[in-house]
C-alpha cells in the first residue's frame, strides 16, 4: 500500500493504506466506546466477531492514521459508483486534532489520483431538532463540505427512529478550498507499530452501518 506522511517539529502523522486487518477487533472496541456520539445503529454488528467478518468482506478502501508510531485513527471510503461514494472516520481522543489533516489527505488521493468527484458522509443525528456534531461538521465545512439534507427516520438506535444528515464534499469545492502544505510520500504495508497500539475512545465520524455494509 501507499503511505503518506506529514510532520511538524514534534509530531509525525502518517497515513497508510490499508488499515491492518489484525487491528479490526481493536477498531470495534474504539467504536463501542462511543457513548455521546450515536455512530452505531441497531443494524450495525453488535459484537467484534461480526464486525470483523463484515469489514473483511471488503468493497472499500481503508487507511490507518499513525501518530508518532501509534495507529490512532481510521478512515474508510466505500465507492457507490465511478462518480463517488461514502466515507467515515474514527480517531482516539489523543489524535482528534489530526483528524482533519488525515481526512484531507485521503480526499486528496481520491480527488487528485482518481476520477472520484463526490464523497459523502452520513452523520446520525442525536435527535430531532438537535445540531449535528459541531466537531465533524466543522471539519467537513473547512474542506468544502455542505449539508445536502436530512433523511428523516432513516435508521434506528435503541429501538427509536433516528435521522441521518447527508454531508458531501465535491472535487470542485475541495480543490477550491484550503489545501495542505508539504506532504511526503513513502511506501509501506500498513502494519508498522501495531504491537504498540492501545484502544481508546475515538473521535466520532459517520454511521458505520451505512458505510461498511
- Percent of the chain having pLDDT more than 70? 71
pLDDT score of 2 more than 50: no
pLDDT score of 67 more than 90: yes
Q: Is 205 exposed, middle or buried (0-12, 13-18, 19+ CB in 10 A)?
A: buried
Predicted local distance difference test score (pLDDT) of residue 30: 78
- For residue 190, give the 3-state DSSP assignment: coil
Mean pLDDT, residues 10-19 taken together: 92
Q: How confident is the model at residue 151 (pLDDT cuts 50, 70, 90)?
A: very high
Comparing 82 with 92, the larger pLDDT belongs to 82
Predicted local distance difference test score (pLDDT) of residue 36: 44
DSSP 6-34: EE-SS-EEEEESS--GGGHHHHHHHHHT-
Q: How confident is the model at residue 10 (pLDDT cuts 50, 70, 90)?
A: confident
pLDDT score of 212 more than 60: no
Mean pLDDT, residues 20-41 taken together: 75
Predicted local distance difference test score (pLDDT) of residue 9: 54
pLDDT score of 97 more than 80: yes
Distances (CA, A) of 143 to 4, 106, 138, 170: 18, 12, 9, 10
Tens digit of each residue's pLDDT (9 = 90 or more) over 154-176? 988 888 888 899 999 999 999 98
d(CA 167, CA 207): 12
Predicted local distance difference test score (pLDDT) of residue 200: 41
pTM tops 0.85: no
Nine-digit cell at 61? 478502501
Predicted local distance difference test score (pLDDT) of residue 167: 96
Tens digit of each residue's pLDDT (9 = 90 or more) over 100-136? 999 999 999 999 999 999 999 998 876 555 555 667 8
Contact partners, residue 12, CB within 8 Å, separation at least 6: 5, 6, 67, 68, 69
Q: Where is average pLDDT lowest: 61-65, 100-104, 136-140, 143-147?
A: 136-140
Comparing 33 with 123, the larger pLDDT belongs to 123
Amino acid at each position: 500500500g501507499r503511505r503518506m506522511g506529514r510532520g511538524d517539529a514534534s509530531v509525525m502523522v502518517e497515513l497508510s493504506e490499508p488499515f491492518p486487518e489484525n487491528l479490526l477487533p481493536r477498531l470495534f472496541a474504539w467504536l463501542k466506546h462511543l457513548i455521546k456520539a450515536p455512530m452505531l445503529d441497531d443494524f450495525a454488528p453488535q459484537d467484534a466477531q461480526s464486525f470483523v467478518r463484515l469489514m473483511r468482506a471488503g468493497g472499500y478502501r481503508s487507511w490507518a492514521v499513525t501518530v508518532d508510531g501509534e495507529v490512532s485513527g481510521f478512515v474508510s471510503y466505500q465507492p457507490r459508483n465511478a462518480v463517488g461514494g461514502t466515507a467515515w472516520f474514527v480517531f482516539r481522543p489523543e489524535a482528534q486534532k489530526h483528524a482533519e489533516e488525515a481526512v484531507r489527505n485521503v480526499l486528496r488521493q481520491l480527488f487528485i489520483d482518481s476520477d472520484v468527484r463526490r464523497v459523502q458522509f452520513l452523520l446520525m443525528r442525536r435527535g430531532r431538532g438537535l445540531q449535528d456534531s459541531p466537531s465533524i461538521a466543522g471539519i467537513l465545512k473547512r474542506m468544502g463540505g455542505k449539508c445536502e439534507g436530512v433523511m428523516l427516520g432513516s435508521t434506528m438506535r435503541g429501538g427509536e427512529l433516528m435521522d441521518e444528515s447527508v454531508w458531501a464534499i465535491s472535487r470542485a469545492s475541495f480543490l477550491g478550498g484550503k489545501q495542505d502544505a508539504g506532504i511526503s510520500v513513502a511506501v509501506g504495508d500498513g502494519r508498522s507499530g501495531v504491537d504498540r497500539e492501545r484502544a481508546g475512545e475515538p473521535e466520532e465520524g459517520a454511521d458505520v452501518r451505512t458505510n461498511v455494509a
